Every structure is written in structure tokens, then in C-alpha cells.
């Protein structure tokens, strides 16, 4: 298991997480759990035992920490994402129906 600290990615930062990486998954998970307004690419995952993590903690820049394993990442990508998509589609349909009813 790896623990990541999630922070805002600075506008100047040229660092990007590799596609399919654990860091990218940690940012995707945090983005959903925090209901972060904006894409997951605006977040940065830092291994909790790195010097940058210590610096981020001192600066009070950390939004949350996330523990991930290969299994939790696979579950997120294969199962949870499908459930999230279905929920979003349901909410959109519900909002459309409410709008139609309020106009009737």
C-alpha cells in the first residue's frame, strides 16, 4: 500500500502524472471524493515519505491523503468509474424530468 498526499497542482508546475499511474489514480479518486470543482489534472499526488510531501505539509497545502493498492486502483478503474457514470446519467435524467414537470 502506498500513501499519497493530494495537493493543488501549481499553475507553473510542469510535472504531470504518467497516464495510468498510481499517482493519476489517486488524483482521480481524490477529485471525486472531495467533489473538487475542476479536472483531476489540477491535483497532484505526492508519496507521503518524500521530501516534497514534508514541504507540502509544512506549507499546509495538503487537501487529503489517500492509501492505494494495485487492487484498489483496479477496482476504481473497472467498477467504481462505471457506477459513477451511471449515477451521473441518472442525475441528468432526473434533472431533465424535474425541469419538464416544473414547466408543465
**pLDDT 10s digits, 72-101:** 999 988 888 788 889 889 999 999 999 999
Q: Quick check: 49 pLDDT over 80?
A: yes
Whether the Cβ atoms of residue 7 and residue 62 lie closer than 8 Å to each other:
yes
Q: How far is residue 86's CA from residue 50's CA, in Å, rounded to a whole number?
A: 37
66 band by pLDDT with thresholds 50, 70 and 90? very high
Half-sphere exposure of 48 (CA within 13 A, CB side): 12
Whether the Cβ atoms of residue 35 and residue 68 lie closer than 8 Å to each other:
no
Question: Which residues 6+ apart lie within 8 Å of 97 measured at CB?
Answer: none
- Most distant CA pair in the chain, distance: 60
Structure-block grid coordinates of residue 65: 491523503
Q: Quick check: 14 pLDDT over 80?
A: no
Amino acid at each position: 500500500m502506498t500513501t499519497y498526499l493530494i495537493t493543488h497542482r501549481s499553475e507553473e508546475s510542469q510535472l504531470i502524472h504518467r497516464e495510468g499511474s498510481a499517482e493519476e489514480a489517486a488524483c482521480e479518486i481524490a477529485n471525486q471524493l472531495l467533489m473538487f470543482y475542476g479536472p483531476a489534472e489540477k491535483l497532484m499526488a505526492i508519496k507521503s515519505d518524500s521530501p516534497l510531501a514534508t514541504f507540502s505539509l509544512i506549507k499546509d497545502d495538503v487537501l487529503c491523503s489517500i492509501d492505494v493498492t494495485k487492487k484498489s486502483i483496479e477496482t476504481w478503474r473497472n467498477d467504481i468509474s462505471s457506477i459513477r457514470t451511471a449515477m451521473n446519467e441518472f442525475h441528468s435524467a432526473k434533472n431533465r424530468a424535474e425541469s419538464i414537470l416544473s414547466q408543465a
